[in-house]
Chains A and B, each alone.
Chain A
Amino acid sequence: MTPPLVSVQELWFRYDDGPPALRGVSLEIGRGEWVAVLGCNGSGKSTLVKHFNGLLKPWRGRVLVEGVDTRRRQVGEWARLIAYLPQHPDRIIFSASVWEEVAFAPRLQGVSGAELERRVNTALEALGLRDAADVPPAALGYGLRRKVALAAVLAQEPALLILDEPTNGLDAGSARDFLEVVAQRHRQGTAVVLITHDLELAAQYAGRAVLMQAGEIAADGPARAVLGNAALLRKAGLEPLPVTHTAHALREAGLAGLPADLLLPEEFAEAYLRAAAGGGEVGQ
């Protein structure tokens, strides 16, 4: 039987002498999954995902990638399988041109010649950066630097792409464009782990959601079930989506026929029209 891409078993972790940041976390990430990792600040989201490629080593428990303990290899050796996009694009940008920046990781994997050209140009194309290929990336604006950073990790062509708050500082349109590029790669089979505070983006893209609270998993299941559970989200310090609020209020007011798991505005509009047409009335 093929082992899962990532298997986290009874993982405990603490920074220096601090209190445990992770308390007995267990989960598996399969090939081709899109998992949103949610939780308020300090809940352990980043600490958890940094174990997937060995950036952090377990205090207790273990993390296996394709069945191999992450402690057995150096972080750099996991780069063929797992790519990690940090919150700040400036943490990775250092090259003299966008092309060189994107080529950095594949080169470290020993990729060269036509394959290197293909990887870099595919990533640049996907993010609309072909015209900026010769520009020093540090001279670009914030939004473009974010795109360069994403292109750089896409060129690693990993089996798992970890995105740590990738849409921070981007406007709604840019955030959506950004995640559309990731979605395209996901459709080609790449697993995605998305750390985000934006529940709407999680609802739109993730198939599964892991909700973290005080270093433990408060919920792990289909994104629709986790994101639609207002009480659970509030308990974990997150505010449910406006659609969940509105649908709940309308149901309380007596509008029958509105499903309980509505998350996105377009779903809500459709369900509302159907419920209203079906004879549901508000304020009975």
Chain B
Amino acid sequence: MMLDLYVRADAWYHRFDPRTKFGLTLLFVVAAALIRNPLAMFALLALLHILPLSSRVPPARLLAAWRPLWPITLVILVLGSFTWGAGAASVWWRWGQVSVGPASVLQAVTMALRVDALAFAFSLLLWTTEQGELVAGLTRLGLPHSASLTLAMSMQFVPTFGRIFGEIMEAQESRGLVIPRNPLRAARAYLPVLIPLIITALRTVDHLAMALAARGYGAASRRTSRRQLRMRRADALALAGGAVVLLVVLLARGL
């Protein structure tokens, strides 16, 4: 069974042409890269929560996306606040080169939210786009079909390997493996988990390649496609709306 991120629903964001969704994802990424103001970054992140929720992606999926994100967010917040420097204007605490102040905290908040926004931008694409649509969209954008399929499959296999990682972890813990708190020792302790994961990944790839070959993949010089993509008015409006928002961001940045 192939577990993927896609949430089956006949909802407004789902119905966009995959090329539109690629375009919007690109716009979100560019906006996340350009925004410097923490409030604006927060607004972008909020938008990236509203869009999937309004397109019937269950809140549990959003919570699941937050689970691996929050430790990263916390690390960026803490490290960024201490290492980006408070500057000369206002300093709350200083010890040698290390200082904390409103400027470094705001910069750390923006960076942490940026990482979250990027993760949610790509999650939105994967929650609302079926694997077949991803492949068709990328192929229509000029990518060779084999490359589109590889990319789509790689993205869709992430949760599958996440599940297998959990199973391996359970099995090795049952044999007595305890992951130490010391990061250096922990890295070494993870070997009995990572090696089976890599072996499983290689076996899966091998089986998948054989299954594709057995079904005739690569035999025909010209592929036909059941999925006919068509840009509709809603797609044009969405892209135009996204472009306007990006323009506003660019202008606001310049001010």
Contact = CB atoms under 8 A, between A and B. Distances in A.
Interface in A69-94: 74-80, 82-84, 86, 88, 90-94
Of B167, B174, B176, B195, chain A has the most CB atoms within 10 Å of the CB of B174
Contacts of B232: none
B170 A93 contact: no
A84 B178 CA distance: 15
Interface string B78-91: 00000000000000
A10 B193 CA distance: 33
Contacts of B200: 90-91
A79 B199 contact: no
Contacts of A79: 174-176
A152 B177 CA distance: 13
B195 A156 contact: no
B206 to A, nearest CB: 12
Interface residues of A, number: 30
Contact of B178 (A74, A88, A92, A138): A74
Contact of B196 (A50, A90, A108, A109): A90
A156 B175 contact: yes
Nearest to B58: A17
A17 B58 CA distance: 11
B249 interface: no
Contacts of B171: 84, 86, 91-92
Interface string A121-159: 000000000000000001000000000000011001000
Contact of A94 (B64, B167, B174, B196): B196
B175 A90 contact: no
User: Which 9 residue pairs spanning A and B have beta carbons closest together?
Assistant: A79-B176, A108-B176, A94-B195, A84-B174, A76-B178, A75-B173, A105-B175, A91-B171, A86-B171
Given A76-B178, A152-B175, 20 more contacts: A17-B60, A17-B63, A55-B170, A74-B178, A75-B174, A76-B176, A79-B175, A82-B174, A83-B174, A83-B175, A86-B167, A86-B171, A90-B200, A90-B203, A91-B200, A92-B172, A94-B195, A104-B192, A105-B176, A109-B176
17 contacts: A55-B174, A74-B178, A75-B173, A79-B176, A80-B176, A86-B167, A86-B170, A91-B170, A91-B171, A93-B199, A94-B195, A94-B196, A94-B199, A108-B177, A138-B199, A152-B175, A156-B175
Interface of B: 60, 63-64, 164, 167-168, 170-178, 191-193, 195-196, 199-200, 203
